[in-house]
A = this chain, B = another copy of it.
Amino acid sequence: MHRDPVNEKDPGRSLLFERSTMPLLKSWVESANTPDTDFPLNNLPYGAFKTEEDETHCGVAIGDMILDVTALEEAGILMPAAEEDEVFFFGDWTDFMAMGPDVWAAFRTALTALLSEENGDAPELVPFLVPQIGTQLVMPFAVSEYTDFYAGKHHAMNIGTILRGADNALPPNWLSIPTGYNGRASSVVVSGTDVRRPWGQLKGPNDELPRFAPCARLDLELEMGAIVGTCSEGMVNVQQADDMIFGYVLLNDWSARDIQGWEYQPLGPFQAKATATTLSPWIVTKAALEGFRTSTPERERELLPYLTEPGPMLYDIELEVTLAPEGKDATTIARTNYNEMYYSAAQQLCHHTTSGCPMNTGDLLGSGTISGPNKENRGSLMELSWGGKEPLTLDTGETRTFLEDGDTLTLKGAAQGDGFRIGFGYCEGKILPANEKPHA
């Protein structure tokens, strides 16, 4: 094992003991007690949904239901702030996120008590439950700014080998810097939003000049997203960064590889990454994941002291990707784990503040593509098809190098506890054909 879950400098921070002994917490919402639900009482992820009246409300997933916390706040039953503040009024968790760890903890405690089996049948709460099935989920927070990292070593090695050969695969700074670039917050969408194949400047290796055409090498990137809760002022250390993080989501950073190949030197990816980035709709809180913390792998080059983790800040979250061609069954094309990352979100967030860059409530950090050591662990088609040279065969018999119109991509993820799991739901998007003309 290359991983050391017990941090030697501070063994008290390792939470694996707690993890192994934490049982399923039982709820009076029966569907939350089944072993196959993503949303037991141990989870309580935060989302937003459309009510029958077409209002947007904040909700918490419990089993196959949603607890309407906007309505609960209005009814005076569950209030994270003083009575006159309506934190959930607009159906968005951003204000709550800004309130900080003490409020987050108190609210979770109240929520857990409300939904616990020990609360009896709670008939007075039943009217606040909405079935998940048939309910439209929307973005649960306002993305302030979006940064995408490149912090998976297997991914960086694979991409580097494809582009530059095995000897120069890893950029010289990679083992020292959690490499990242600023993405485009306006392009972040919630699971279920269709993704239109983009146009862009394309230039093949043998073309003299670029042409403007629909992307022919559209890809997914399997990532986790960390959501910043509280703001920074000046540089923060890794522990402070971890304390600022509100929760995690699944993230698919759709990528136009042909646009990227022509545009990215010298200032990095731009339009190749600006069509869409899809998030899973439920924010799984740091509190729910506490028992699944794990350390980053051993360092191959000693980190500068500012990046040292005071305790385990990655998580053991199993991940998978499926691809379903239009009207056909899905094939699992990759399985990996968030614990494969070389840098944690806390390290990334700390590095993000080194320049004094202010980080704000609602900032979203993409982990970077999460691949593992083996072929079946690769989190992008660029890697799975080795730059388009080795087509992938789906269970339907079809092959893929990159995405085709009508393909539906689904990311799933869960931390596996003893008799329960902390699930993330789905992060899904379907590819629509490019517009016939680039603009109206």
Interface residues of A (CB under 8 A from B): 144-145, 150, 171-173, 176-177, 179-187, 196, 198-201, 203, 209-212, 234-237, 240, 256, 259, 262-272, 274-276, 301, 304-306, 351-360, 363, 435, 438-440
Question: Hey, which chain B residues are within 8 Å of A355, CB to CB?
Answer: 187, 198-200, 256, 259, 271-272, 274-275
CB-CB < 8 A to A274: which residues of B?
352, 355-357
Please tell me which one of the listed residues B145, B186, B210, B234 contacts residue A357 in the complex, with CB atoms under 8 A apart.
B186
How far is it, in angstroms, between the C-alpha of A176 and the C-alpha of B275 when the chains are bound? 20
Q: Report yes or no: B438 in contact with A354, Cβ–Cβ below 8 A.
A: yes
Kindly provide the distance from the CB of A361 to the nearest chain B CB, expressed in whole angstroms: 11
Say whether B182 contacts A201, CB under 8 Å: no
Q: How many copies does the complex hold?
A: 2
- For A187, what are the chain B residues with a Cβ–Cβ distance below 8 Å? 355-358
* Complex partner residue of A212 from B186, B203, B305, B358, CB under 8 angstroms: B305
Task: Report whether B179 and A263 are in contact in the complex, using a CB–CB cutoff of 8 Å.
Answer: yes
Q: Which residues of B contact A272 (CB under 8 A)?
A: 355
B contact residues around A180 at 8 Å (CB): 267, 270
Complex Cα–Cα for A267 and B156 (A): 12
Contact B438 A173 (CB under 8 A): no
From the candidates B240, B270, B440, name the one contacting A234 in the complex (CB within 8 A).
B440
- CB pairs A–B below 8 angstroms (18 shown): A145-B186, A173-B263, A179-B263, A179-B270, A182-B183, A184-B357, A186-B360, A187-B357, A196-B356, A199-B235, A200-B354, A211-B304, A235-B439, A271-B354, A272-B355, A274-B356, A275-B355, A306-B439
Cβ-closest chain B residue relative to A358: B186
* CB-CB under 8 A for A356 and B209, given A181-B182, A186-B145, A263-B173: no
Cα of A392 to Cα of B181 in the assembled complex, Å:
33
Question: What residue in chain B is nearest A353 (Cβ atoms)?
Answer: B439
Q: CB-CB < 8 A to A171: which residues of B? A: 265-266
B263 touches A177 (CB 8 A): yes
- Do A439 and B234 touch (CB < 8 A)? yes
Q: How far is the CA of A79 from the CA of B135 in the complex (A)?
A: 42
Given A354-B200, A355-B200, decide whether A176 and B209 contact each other with a Cβ distance below 8 A.
yes
Nearest CB in chain B to that of A254: its residue: B355
- In the assembled complex, the Cα of A76 lies from the Cα of B150 at a distance in Å of 54
Closest B residue by C-beta to A274: B357
